[in-house]
Amino acid sequence: MRLVAVDGHAGSGKSTFAGLLADRLGGAPVLHLDDIARHDELFDWTARLHDEVILPLSRGATAHYRPYDWRARRPGPARPLPAAPVVLVEGVGAGRAALRPHLALLLWMDVPCEESWARGRARDGEEQREFWDGWERAERAHFAADPSRPFAHLLVRQRQQGYEVVSGPDGTGETPLSITDSDGS
């Protein structure tokens, strides 16, 4: 199993790109970190993600997690995430330091934060204005303490037609594993 992370600022197009990539990979499962994060744990979900998702998948088992209902402000019923040769994890913080050892590849949606946040605010509307005010502060603090972009293997840039994918800064110094190679698991 290979975990591939799609990280970037809120509103940068991570979900859309991950969906397209999943299709190109033959229907790879996608975990949206919006289902893992919570109002009281915008970025403090690493241990839960590890225990509920990464450990079972690493054993070849189906993971089960409870997607957070952002309107009801509580987790919903358990949802399965099947083990597969490639599993995509998309969301703000998907490339955080604690997750990087588990990743075969880290992609960064290369959209400036101000542009991303404007897109996100337009998408979510006036109803979420107050949330976005707090979100921007929280996201800035998260990436100041635990940046992902410097460690990205690839940068993804949205173009008029499609995407451009270029080499990233890759501060790990390691060669990324091919997402199509098999290690027998």
Cβ pair 69, 76 in contact under 8 A: yes
Radius of gyration of the chain (CA): 16
Backbone phi, psi, residue 85, to 5°: -55, -35
Please compute the mean of the pLDDT values over residues 151-156 and round it to a whole number: 95
Assess whether pLDDT exceeds 60 at residue 180: no
User: Tens digit of pLDDT for each residue in 63-95?
Assistant: 999 999 988 999 999 999 999 999 999 999 999
- Measured CA to CA in angstroms, residue 42 lies from 90, 109, 138, 142, 170 at distances of 14, 19, 8, 9, 25
- pLDDT recorded at residue 185: 35
Q: How confident is the model at residue 170 (pLDDT cuts 50, 70, 90)?
A: confident
Between CA 102 and CA 60 the distance in angstroms is 14
Output the average pLDDT for the chain: 90
Residue 41 DSSP symbol:
B
Q: How many CB atoms lie within 10 A of CB 152?
A: 27
| Whether residue 172 has pLDDT greater than 70 | no
Determine the Cα–Cα distance for residues 117 and 59; give it in Å rounded to an integer. Answer: 37
| Helix runs in the chain, H state only | 14-24, 46-49, 55-58, 113-124, 129-145
> Got the DSSP string for 135-160?
HHHHHHHHHHHS-SGGG-SEEEEE-S
pLDDT for 183: 41
Q: Are 38 and 135 in contact (CB under 8 A)?
A: no
Which residues are CB-contacts of 179 (< 8 A; sequence separation ≥ 6)? 2, 4, 25, 86, 104, 105
Which of 99-108, 152-161, 163-172 is predicted with the least confidence, judged by mean pLDDT? 163-172
- Helix/strand/coil for 8: coil
Say how far apart CA 34 and CA 42 lie, in whole Å. Answer: 9
